[in-house]
């Protein structure tokens, strides 16, 4: 065994599997420096070796049917018959329709609202996006994994599960496979395909949750105003769809080393009428099991006096790692510890004049999605690069097993180059498989580059 791998073997027993060595989130803000330990391109030799072990397990199952690969159980945060709820919502829409917000009716989708407003493409049927075409090539684990990776660097995704399971490769692997199975069950690819067009119109028009600006560590800020949310305003399946769409969209705003978001749970004007336990339970389960390591910090802002009692009910539901990221602020001064005043909204004590206003779809914004030949060409290019990445990964794991330092380093370098190429090719294919959305319409997100100045208006 070579010197490097002997050293790794000795360190395995002492490596900080629990992540205790990582700086507390408040310390990172105090220093103004993001802790990148355990993140993509910032791995210790021990962590890189554990990542290789993870990939070795994954590749051993890559061509197996997804259903045959062992995993953690797929937890349902609440018991809900989605089909029955969808039928019920449709019946309410047809027999007892009611307005939810600024002309948006109960159970009305953005697509339906656009049709009502006369927003239609030049095509004969006026549709804004073509009918969904399944992008998962077959029923194997490998095909499903690539559908999850999408425009991410492959290692970024795998490292999320490793960190979430404190670098226990077996536990991380079973967790990752469960997340892949959940995505297939929920048909996340179809949600991405249709984008906000199939979301509940009132949720989009209200701006119940939206991203704007960045915190002092460079993490995108997600503003979530609870006073805008009422459980009766939408069905549970629509709310769940909205949450999945939001999380998938936010993934596009994350570029290494920025891999997490800053969530502001704004409780200004919050009342009991805004409490929605199915929403809370679902959101927490998504964060813990299916989108791990995506939360950098959660700031609970301006909670009413009685919220401490609610927090006692919520906190036991939180994963300890998630709970450690929760901070409380009652006044703007509390927010300014984490957000520069030029990034903080004026309405919350900062100098940024931005106010959310939903930007409706452009009739021709999804024209590339109607280009089947272009999509097929983009798919072929991406699949070729994915195959090259897999071969480089095999070479990498083989070198690890052989204890060959030079070949391991050479294969690691080749993987890194291919990872960039895979991400770029996936981003190109994305134009053919994802409907445009608020952040692309406003110019905040263009070809993977995020520019909040397109929306910010500091006073």
Three-state secondary structure readout of 150-195:
CCCCHHHHHHHHHHHCCCCHHHHHHHHHHHHHHHHHHCHHHHHHHH
Question: Are the C-beta atoms of 253 and 439 separated by less than 8 Å?
Answer: yes
Helices 405-433 & 3-11, crossing angle to 10 degrees?
70
Task: Average the pLDDT over 250-255 and give the result.
Answer: 96
DSSP 180-249: HHHHHHHTHHHHHHHGGGGSBHHHHHHTSEEEEEE-TTSPEEEEEEGGG--GGGS-HHHHHHHHHHHHHH
The residue among 415, 442, 23, 28 whose CA lies nearest residue 253 is: 442
SS (H, E, C) 357-419: CCCCCCCCCCHHHHCHHHHHHHHHHHHHHHHHHHHHHHHHHHHHHHCCHHHHHHHHHHHHHHH
Instruction: Give 317-362 pLDDT, tens digit per residue.
Output: 778 888 889 899 999 999 999 999 999 999 999 999 999 999 999 9
Question: Are the C-beta atoms of 110 and 201 separated by less than 8 Å?
Answer: yes
Question: Are the C-beta atoms of 162 and 54 separated by less than 8 Å?
Answer: yes
What gap in Å lies between CA 144 and CA 413, rounded to an integer?
Answer: 26
Query: Which pLDDT band holds residue 457 (cuts at 50, 70, 90)?
Result: low
Task: Average the pLDDT over 71-80 and give the result.
Answer: 79
Instruction: Give 254-289 pLDDT, tens digit per residue.
Output: 999 999 999 999 999 988 888 888 888 888 889 889
State the alpha helices, DSSP H only, in 32-134.
Answer: 45-61, 82-95, 110-117
State how far Cα 126 lies from the chain centre.
Answer: 31
What gap in Å lies between CA 261 and CA 225, rounded to an integer?
Answer: 16
Instruction: Give 198-237 pLDDT, tens digit per residue.
Output: 999 999 999 999 999 999 999 999 999 999 999 899 999 9
Q: Is 405 exposed, middle or buried (0-12, 13-18, 19+ CB in 10 A)?
A: middle
Using DSSP, state whether 319 is helix, strand or coil.
coil
What gap in Å lies between CA 343 and CA 353, rounded to an integer?
Answer: 9
Q: What is the per-residue pLDDT for 6?
A: 43
Q: What is the per-residue pLDDT for 271?
A: 84
Q: Does residue 96 carry a pLDDT above 50?
A: yes
Residue 224 structure tokens: 């979530």
- pTM for the model stands at 0.91
Task: Average the pLDDT over 189-198 and give the result.
Answer: 97
What gap in Å lies between CA 385 and CA 419, rounded to an integer?
Answer: 9
Helix, strand, coil shares of the chain, percent, nearest 5, are 55, 10, 35
């Amino acid at each position: 065994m070579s010197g490097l791998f002997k050293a790794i073997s000795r360190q395995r027993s002492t490596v900080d599997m629990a992540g205790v060595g990582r700086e507390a989130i408040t310390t990172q803000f105090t220093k103004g420096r993001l802790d990148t330990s355990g993140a993509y391109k910032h791995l210790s030799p021990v962590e890189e070796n554990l990542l290789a072990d993870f990939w070795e397990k994954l590749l051993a199952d890559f061509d197996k049917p997804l259903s045959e690969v062992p995993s953690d159980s797929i937890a349902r945060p609440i018991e809900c018959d989605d089909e029955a709820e969808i039928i019920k919502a449709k019946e309410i829409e047809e027999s007892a329709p009611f307005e939810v917000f600024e002309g948006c009716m109960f159970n009305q989708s953005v697509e339906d609202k656009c049709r009502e407003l006369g927003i239609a493409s030049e095509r004969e049927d006026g549709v804004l996006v073509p009918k969904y075409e399944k992008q998962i090539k077959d029923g194997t684990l490998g095909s499903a994994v690539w559908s999850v990776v999408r425009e991410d660097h492959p290692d970024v995704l795998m490292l999320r599960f490793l960190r979430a399971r404190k670098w226990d490769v077996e536990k991380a692997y079973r967790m990752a496979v469960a997340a892949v199975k959940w995505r297939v069950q929920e048909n996340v690819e179809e949600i991405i395909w249709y984008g906000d067009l199939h979301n509940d119109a009132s949720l989009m028009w209200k701006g119940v949750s939206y991203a704007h600006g960045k915190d002092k560590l460079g993490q995108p800020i997600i503003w979530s105003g609870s006073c805008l949310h009422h459980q009766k305003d939408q069905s549970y399946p629509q709310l769940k769809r909205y949450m999945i769409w939001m999380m998938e969209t936010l993934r596009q705003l994350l570029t290494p080393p920025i891999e997490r978001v800053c969530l502001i749970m704004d409780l200004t004007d919050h009342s009991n009428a805004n409490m929605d336990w199915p929403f809370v339970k679902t959101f927490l389960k998504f964060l813990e099991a299916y989108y791990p390591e995506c939360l950098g910090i959660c700031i609970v802002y301006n909670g009413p006096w009685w919220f401490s009692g609610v927090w006692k009910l919520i906190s036991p539901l939180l994963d300890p790692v998630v709970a450690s990221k929760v901070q409380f602020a009652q006044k703007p001064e509390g927010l300014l510890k984490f957000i520069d005043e030029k990034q903080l909204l004026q309405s919350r004590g900062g100098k940024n004049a931005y106010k959310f206003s939903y930007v409706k779809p452009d009739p021709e914004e999804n024209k590339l999605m109607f280009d089947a030949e272009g999509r097929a060409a983009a798919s072929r290019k991406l699949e070729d690069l994915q195959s090259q990445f897999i071969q480089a990964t095999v070479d990498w794991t083989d070198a690890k097993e052989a204890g060959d330092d030079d070949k391991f380093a050479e294969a690691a370098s080749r993987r890194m180059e291919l990872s960039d190429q895979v991400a770029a090719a996936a981003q190109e294919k994305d134009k053919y498989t994802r409907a445009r959305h608020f952040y692309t319409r406003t110019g905040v997100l263009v070809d993977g580059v995020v520019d909040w100045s397109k929306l910010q208006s500091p006073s």
